[in-house]
Amino acid sequence: MHAPARLGLRILRRRPLRSALTIAGIAIGVALVFAALSVDAAAQSGARGYAAQLDGRSDLVVRAFGEGTLSPQSLSAISSTTGVLGTSPQVRRTTFAWSVAPGGIVATRSLGALTVVGVDPEADRAFHDESVVAGAALTAADDGGVVLAEPWASAHGLAVGSRISLMGGGGERTLAVRGVLAASGPALADGGRLAYVTITTARALFALPTGAVDVVEVRVDPAVGVAAVETRLETRLSSEPYLLSTTADDAAALSGASRDIGSGLLLVAAVVLFVGALLVSDALAMSVAERSREVALLRSAGATRGQVHAMVVVEALGMAVAGTAAGIVLGAVMATALVPLVASISDAPVSGAPLDPGALVVAVLLGVLVPVVAALGPAWRAGRVAPVEALRGSALRPRPNGGIGRSAVEGAAASVTGTTVLILGAALTGASSPSGAAPIAGGPAATFLAAVVVALAVLLLVLIAGLVAPAVLRVAGAVVGLAALPLRRSLGAEMRLARGSLAHDPARISVAFAALAVGLGLVVALAGIADGMRRAGEAWIADVAPADYAVVAISPVPDSFGADLAAVSGVSTVTPLRLFDVAIAGRRASAVAVDPGAYARLGALTVVDGSRDAAFAALQAGGAALVPRSVADRFGLRVGDSLGLRTASGEESLRVAAVVAHGVPGAAGESVVVSQSDASRLGISGVSMFLVVAKPGASSALSAALSDVADRYALSVVRPSSIGGAVTGALDRTFGLLDALAVAAVIIAVLSMLDVLLMDVRQRVGELGLLRAVGLTRAQAWRAVVLEAAIVGLAGSVAACVLGVLGATAVLGLGTTAGIQLAVPWAPVGLALLIGLVGAVLVSVYPARLAARVDIARALRAE
Amino acid sequence: MRPILEARDLTKTYRTGEGEVEALRGVSLTVEPGEFVALMGPSGSGKTTLLQLLGGLDRPSSGEVVLDGIPVSSLDDDRATRLRREKTGFVFQAFNLVPLLSARENVALPFLLAGADPASGEFRDRVDDALRLVDLAAKAERRPSQLAFGEQQRVAIARAIAGRPAILFADEPTGNLDYSTGLEILQYLYRSCAERGQTIVLVTHDAQAGAFADRVLFLRDGRVLEEIGIGRRVEHPARPLIERLALLGE
Ligand SMILES: Nc1ncnc2c1ncn2[C@@H]1O[C@H](COP(=O)(O)OP(=O)(O)OP(=O)(O)O)[C@@H](O)[C@H]1O
Ligand SMILES: [Mg+2]
């Protein structure tokens, strides 16, 4: 090895703690990137695998629209289409099941909701390979039998020979369990809550006409191609509304949720990388500044510029290699821990080894490249140190680090390199998947653009941080000074020293400040976005379903059930709603049928365009609809326009009576509001949800009493906020996960602060010795360092809160059409302030101890 | 009169990687109030070590230092620090000033550290007084980096005397200065001694500097080899001292 390279490595060993800090920073960054990419890859492959298992050999799926069915004519039209190799018709509906005791005839125990799948066993076998673990497979003639899926069956103590009872529109039917399927293939759907019966049994159960089907799986001749068959089907199926999807669509939809998480992870990883790059570049800059005298000596002893460059780069490379190795191990551990978390959030199972080769390559590349790029500036500067500087030696300490602009450019260069590699890597690893699902959509051009934008944003952020840092630090100093006012007499000296030390090297302090502001800012922003979205969801629900409880049915129930709910003591009003699918201009949308009088009395809906009274009067009069703003925007509707609604059994043209701020969340977005009588002309009857308002001061037992009644009719009692997934726990969990990861950025920022403080104490040993000689006590030295950290911590976390709230506002403002009002998320803001302050103070304890323990005699000699 | 400073049988052994270094091997001395004493000796003879023990900056391996009646060597760190703050002033060869503080703030440092408000009446007067003594009142607001090296040393002297310490310790204060600037510094030290009765212990290896003292203690190999009385004079010719030192083989 060359001499300068050896020197570079020696330097690492000479300052073990500070080297360890930088290595830890690199390791955390690499770990997060590796974990994020790996989990993302696992989620993607899990979704693909899951979709492949569900779809079996089908290429296309035709589904009946809404609650309608497809007729035998449609089925034969599908079968006879050129390019269709085979079809498998199904009846597929959700209902409730009860278990029936052996020998008994009465259903005894509720098994909860279940998807009944009526199949033609012969046709089904051509599409799916099912593996029977007990009993036998379903046969075409077996009208009294049912086949269940493994985990669910055993969870409910059901085995071959058990009997279950299913409730449908055609009454109740008791079936005997003939076989149990392994949890694979199509039996994975709906979490295995499946009951396979013959299609004839299913039609009878749900009182469907002969030959009616809900779903047709289609196998396509590869020579013709899916797209060609799709177009042919579109011309041939004109008599009934339907939905057509390819299995690729299904896979994409399934992986959608996990892809959102993946992009979130990447965003967090990019910010962590940014903060990490700042730390590395700052650490190297400090290390070079500290050694300028030594470098000068080397130069005067004959070291070439190239050798000095090599020394610094090798120092960086040494840390990079150590950090990357540690990061990969840490990342693998993190990924393993994250997989179940992400699985709990996404719809599809997350599978695959937590070690993704593509992710490994990107992480290693980042871990090595970022520190080396960060080393270039300092290396260049080290090369410029003139040999004569060795002889001067008149400075009390190494010269300050240079301007803020330089720090910004160097930090930004490193983090931009990192971010670019990350984005490109993510795009490439994503693109290598068959479905072409890149975490960042839009191809190489958009990816490059994103990298450039990130680059500029990073540069801007650091420059701004550098510019505002002195002012912010002064203000924070004053605030800390004010807080210490009662102690002023005794803290005066410490405050003066802390502030002096902050003023000494603003560029370096700015970097710690910027890192803290960005890291904590991300935490605040994520929490703020989650908070804003949750509150928007709550506001939305409060507007469209202003009730205490929602009693929800899986499939529509008679209006008369409402009377039983109203009879529960403590109930004030019960308002029925009927959610259904409609087609507007050939596109799927949601609608809700209401009793206009009752719904109006609830105080529901905010009319944004027209008067509320007039709107409800029009609804009552019939032939009118109230359209949510999002739907109006989507279809270009205005008050007075006519709106064509189509269902499986009819078509109606209604007048738009008003535009409302929000509609009830339905399966296809916010619902158009129509009256029950207009809905019945569309073939829609029954109730899918009762909104229950409690009497003032109703007892807490109301929920239990409602549940008792609801259970009888297989209804469930929920909080209105959970309607249609408007306010979901998944949202909170997703953001919670991202927030937890964002803490990595804070950890790195705090490490960087530790580095700065250590460097500071080290550089000022002489000064500390002098101060101690003239009467600074150990306690005072300790307090001066802690105060310095507290000031930076306070300034950094205040800036983080501002940055975070601004960021959250921007995201919420841009992201949605729903009017989200932003409020300052006080809890995260408070937490951020606390973390910043406490983190900074904790981290300062060790450097403060070093400062207090300076050996005066030796410090004075060292000068 | 009670001596202001007394050292009895001081030894100091440094432990290093290679073994032990006996920097002091039994030094006893006394300094009377108002006296100007110089410690001289070849490099490595233990001058700095002795000064650090006398000033309470370090602890002896054995022996005792009594400063103004207080046994310094047995004090804990806090008390020793306070003692330094209240009863001593230091001037070192270089890097005497905190670069972030102005000249005035550097002079006021002992008051600031004591928790006093250096801008308030009495302390302000003392700081001004000290700055005047070293003729730097006009440059009080400058940072050390804006001062010449000799001026920096004068600020250090001002700080050392501002607190009216019982004793002022100086370790080669002229070591980094050219001949005439060095003399100037010695004049200022002498002035504080002559005009205000400031007790001074000066470490130097320069006979020209030693000649300013009333008495010179010559060290070699960690022991006091010779005591040379000079007495207070207005002129400080170096020749007699050089001649005495020549007899010692210097
Ligand atoms: N911290 C230390 N560790 C080990 N040895 C030391 C230490 N400090 C001083 N010494 C040794 O103690 C002896 C006395 O040193 P000291 O600095 O007191 O001498 P000095 O008379 O002040 O010399 P100079 O005129 O060069 O300043 C020397 O041999 C020196 O090497
Ligand atoms: Mg010395």
- The string over A844-855, giving b where at least 16 C-beta atoms fall within 10 Å of a residue's C-beta and e elsewhere, is beebbebbbebe
Question: What gap in Å lies between CA A283 and CA A291, rounded to an integer?
Answer: 12
In angstroms, the separation between the Cα of residue B85 and the nearest Cα of chain A is 4
Q: Would A501 be classed as within a structural domain?
A: yes
pLDDT at A489 over 70: no
Closest residue in A to B49 (Cα) is: A857
CA triple A395-A398-A403, angle to 5 deg: 115
Each domain of chain B, given as residue ranges in start order, spans 33-59+74-247
Q: Which residue among B11, B12, B13, B14 has the greatest number of ligand 1 atoms within 8 angstroms of its CB, and so is best to mutate?
A: B14
Q: What mean pLDDT is reported for chain A?
A: 80
Q: Which residues of chain B have pLDDT under 70?
A: 1, 250
The CA distance from A275 to A410, in Å, is 12
Of A501, A504, A774, which to mutate for an interface test with B (greatest number of B Cβ within 10 Å)?
A774
Atom of ligand 1 nearest to the CA of B45: 21
| CA distance to A285, A317, A411, per residue, from A371 (Å) | 12, 7, 10
Q: Answer yes or no: do B96 and A770 touch at CB < 8 A.
A: yes
* Chain B residues with at least one Cβ partner in A under 8 Å: 48, 52, 55, 57-58, 77-78, 81-82, 84-86, 89-90, 92-101, 105, 109-110, 112-115, 117, 159
Among candidate residues A718, A753, A778, the one where a domain is terminated: A718
Share of chain A above pLDDT 90, in %: 11
3-state secondary structure of B78: helix
Q: Which domain holds residue A426?
A: 1-54+251-441
pLDDT number for residue B28: 93
Per residue, the 3-state secondary structure of A13-50, as one string, reads HHCHHHHHHHHHHHHHHHHHHHHHHHHHHHHHHHHHHH
Q: Once rounded to an integer, what is the mean pLDDT over residues A581-609?
A: 86
Question: How many whole angstroms from A118 Cα to the centroid of ligand 1?
Answer: 97
Residues of A with CB under 8 A from a CB of B: 396-397, 489-490, 492-493, 496, 500-501, 503-504, 766-767, 770-780, 856-857, 860-861, 863
Task: Report phi then psi at A843, rounded to 5.
Answer: -70, -20
- Ligand 1 first shell, C-beta below 6 A: A 858; B 14, 16, 21, 23, 41, 43-49, 205
Chain B CB contacts of A392 under 8 Å are none
Q: From residue A649, give the alpha-carbon distance in Å to each of A72, A661, A667, A684.
A: 16, 29, 19, 8
Q: Which tokens is A612 given? A: 């509320």
- Residue B204 tokens read as 């130097």
Which residue among B12, B27, B47, B61 is best mutated to probe the pocket of ligand 1, counting the most ligand atoms within 8 A of its Cβ? Answer: B47
| Confidence at residue A399, expressed as pLDDT on a 0 to 100 scale | 46
Judge whether A770 lies within some domain.
yes
pTM higher than 0.80 for the full model? no
Please name which of A19, A519, A526 lies closest in space to residue A272, comparing C-alpha atoms: A519
Q: Is residue A59 part of a domain?
A: no
Q: Which ligand neighbours the alpha carbon of B46 most closely?
A: 1
CATH class of B33-59+74-247: alpha beta
Whether residue A855 is contained in a domain is answered as: yes
Supply the pLDDT for residue A455: 61
- Ligand 1 centroid–CA B163 distance in Å is 29
- B63 residue type, one letter: G
SS (H, E, C) A671-683: EEEEEHHHHHHCC
Does the beta-carbon distance from A770 to B117 stay under 8 Å? no
Is the alpha carbon torsion for A689, A695, A697, A701 positive or negative? negative
Name A238's Cβ contacts closer than 8 Å, sequence gap at least 6: none
Amino acid (1-letter code) at residue A499: R
Strand partners, A61: A217, A245
Residue B32 has a pLDDT of 92
User: H or E element: which one contains B186?
Assistant: helix B179-196
Tens of pLDDT, residues A134-155:
888 888 888 889 999 888 888 8
- Tell me, yes or no, whether A733 and A615 share the same domain: no
The per-residue pLDDT for A397 is 39
DSSP assignment string, A452-513: HHHHHHHHHHHHHHHHHHHHHHHHHHHHHHHHTGGGHHHHHHHHHHHHHHHHH-HHHHHHHH
What pLDDT is stored for residue A431 in this prediction?
Answer: 38
Split into its structural domains, chain A has a count of 4
Burial A87-108 (b: 16+ CB within 10 A, else e): bbbbbbbebbbbbbeeeeeebe
A759 confidence band (pLDDT: 50, 70, 90): confident
When pLDDT is averaged across residues A6-24 and rounded to a whole number, the result is 77
Nearest to A780 among B58, B92, B113 (CB): B113
Question: Is the pLDDT assigned to residue A13 strictly greater than 90?
Answer: no
- Chain A and chain B share a number of CB contacts under 8 A equal to 83
* pLDDT score recorded for residue B50: 94
CA A244, A247, A252, A254 torsion-angle sign: positive
Please indicate whether, in this complex, the C-beta atoms of A500 and B95 are within 8 angstroms of each other. Answer: no
**pLDDT higher than 70, residue A388:** no
- A635-684 pLDDT, tens digit per residue, is 888 888 999 888 877 888 999 999 998 888 887 788 999 999 999 988 88
Residue spans of alpha helices (H) in A138-208: 150-155, 199-205
Q: Is residue A735 part of a domain?
A: yes
Domain assignment of residue A447, yes or no: no
In a domain, A862, yes or no: yes
pLDDT at A398: 43
Q: Distance between alpha carbon A549 and the CA centroid of its chain, in Å?
A: 28
Give pLDDT, residue A322: 92
Are A174 and A133 in a shared domain?
yes
- Output the pLDDT for position B4: 92
Q: Are A137 and A108 in the same domain?
A: yes
- Residues A79 and A149 occupy one common structural domain: yes
Please tell me the predicted confidence (pLDDT) of residue A719: 82
SS3 track for A632-658: HHHHCCCCCCEEEEEECCEEEEEEEEE
Of A240, A259, A280, the position where a domain reaches its end is A240
More confident residue, A435 or A90: A90
| A496·B117 Cβ contact <8 A | no
A492/B89 touch (CB, cutoff 8 Å), yes or no: no
In chain A, the percentage of residues whose pLDDT exceeds 70 is: 84
Q: Are residues A663 and A569 in the same domain?
A: yes
A63 in a structural domain: no
| pLDDT, tens digit, 9 for 90 and up, residues A451-473 | 566 666 666 776 777 677 777 77
Q: What pLDDT was estimated at residue B35?
A: 93
Are residue A274 and residue A219 in the same domain, yes or no?
no
**Within this chain, do residues A668 and A588 fall inside the same structural domain, yes or no?**
yes
- Is the same domain home to A389 and A467? no
Give the one of B58, B96, B115 whose C-beta lies nearest to A492's C-beta.
Answer: B115
Same domain, A730 and A778: yes
Instruction: Please give the DSSP secondary-structure letter assigned to residue A387.
Output: T
Asked which of A391, A420, A441 is the last residue of a domain, the reply is A441
The question of ipTM being above 0.95 is answered as no
pLDDT value of residue A105 = 64
* Cα gap A134→A365, rounded to integer Å: 51
pLDDT recorded at residue A542: 84
